[in-house]
A and B are shown apart, each in its own frame.
Chain A
Amino acid sequence: MEMDEKDNDRQEKLKGLWNDAKHYQEIHDEVREALLHSPEVPHIIPFYRKKYFAIAASIIILIGISAILILFIHKPSSNSGKDELTLGKDTILKLQMDKPVAKARQEIYNDEFLLQWNNKYDTISHLVVIGSRDNKIVFRTEIKPAQLSYKLPKGLLHPGKYEWYVGDIKFKKSLIIDH
């Protein structure tokens, strides 16, 4: 009996809520209709006035500016010109190209450096020299198919520790330039 009364009470409350929700929905529709059919109210808010758009646009602009800063502003002080890149340690892995090189070998050739390797490539590959201190690419050049060495121009690298590789960073070799 008590249970029945509780159920009835609950059902009565539910009925009130249901009817109020219906009433609320009807008024909401009335308001929307009134505003929709009024020539004095702008019906479509321009997309650029939406906050969602403003936030999305801000994020895109920030990403764009960051990308520009990464790619162009932090250029290394190298003479190689067009092939200069300033990518950090994490992004170096993205530069993986071509087939892996089995072994890299370095020889000192007066003040110049001759870098040699023993894997031939079928396609164009890249020789990359990275500064060990900051992991930034300081030199990068294309390697033609079947090319097995590259002579670094005089004065290209300042004294310090470097690493270089051809094609695949997994097979890299250190390079020390003394004063």
Chain B
Amino acid sequence: MILVTKRIKPVPIEKFSEEDLIKGLEQGDGKIITLIYKRNIAAVRNMVNQYSNIILEADDVVQEGLTRAIMNIRDKKFKGASSIHTYLYSICKNICLKECQKLKVFYPATTTIDLSDEPQEDYYDLLQSVLKIKERMEQMCIEIIDLRFSLNPKLTSEHDHLNKKAQTMMPFEDIAKKLDILPDNARQRFKRCLEKLIDAVNKDKQIEDFF
């Protein structure tokens, strides 16, 4: 019997083209995510250390930056105006600046970011607020709101255009089947949970302003 030990050498990031990296991020390729993390962590750590008056961990900032970058790539908001590394660095810098603004602390005046590919930074704050609200909700409510708000799989462009908005919601009949309850019960449960969600949202000034 022959035993073989193979040493797998990591592929350097330089071997990947810009398109490969973006495609890898879009597909959630763990190897590409790791490579980009490793390539950028030192620069972000240096940058974070400049903001001595706020407590931020470079690792958290890069993780958050990667999340936003991937989300933007998947939503086709990233237009490729800059390299993925510049883009990620800019997002990370914006995260730090945002934190400074939130805490009303001084930050260097030269650090202005003009990021054409980046959507409104405030939107991510909104998403985090929604997640906080979600954390406080009952699992039963999260489940039914998730189902109702998910796209109707039966919907096609040929369907009724007059009531398109309503059709983007999953029908209660389908929800009822998935949850093994009656459609009326599904409707009532959703209504009750939505009221709770709206109530929580109304108490959040940032989301309220968004509406």
B25-42 interface bits toward A, Cβ cutoff 8 Å, 1 = contact, 0 = none: 000111101100110000
| B interface, over-half SS | helix
Q: Answer whether A50 and B127 are a contact pair too, CB < 8 Å, given A31-B33, A41-B38.
A: no
Q: How far does the Cβ of B187 sit from chain A's closest Cβ, in whole Å? A: 14
Residues of A within 8 A of B (CB): 8, 10-15, 17-25, 27-28, 30-35, 37-38, 40-41, 45, 50-52, 55
Q: Which of B108-134 touch A at CB < 8 Å? A: 123-124, 126-128, 130-131, 134
Chain B, Cβ-Cβ closest to A19? B149
Secondary structure of the A side of the interface?
helix
Can you list 16 A-B pairs with a CB-CB distance of less than 8 A? A10-B198, A14-B211, A17-B210, A18-B145, A18-B146, A20-B127, A21-B130, A24-B67, A27-B67, A27-B70, A31-B67, A35-B63, A37-B30, A38-B31, A41-B38, A50-B57
Interface centre among A23, A38, A45 (most CB of B within 10 A): A38
Residues of B within 8 A of A (CB): 10, 28-31, 33-34, 37-38, 55-57, 59, 63-64, 66-67, 70-71, 74, 123-124, 126-128, 130-131, 134, 145-146, 149-150, 165, 168-169, 194, 197-198, 201, 207, 210-211
Shortest CB distance B74–A (Å):
8
A8 to chain B minimum Cβ distance, whole angstroms, is 6
**Are A35 and B55 touching (Cβ within 8 A)?**
no
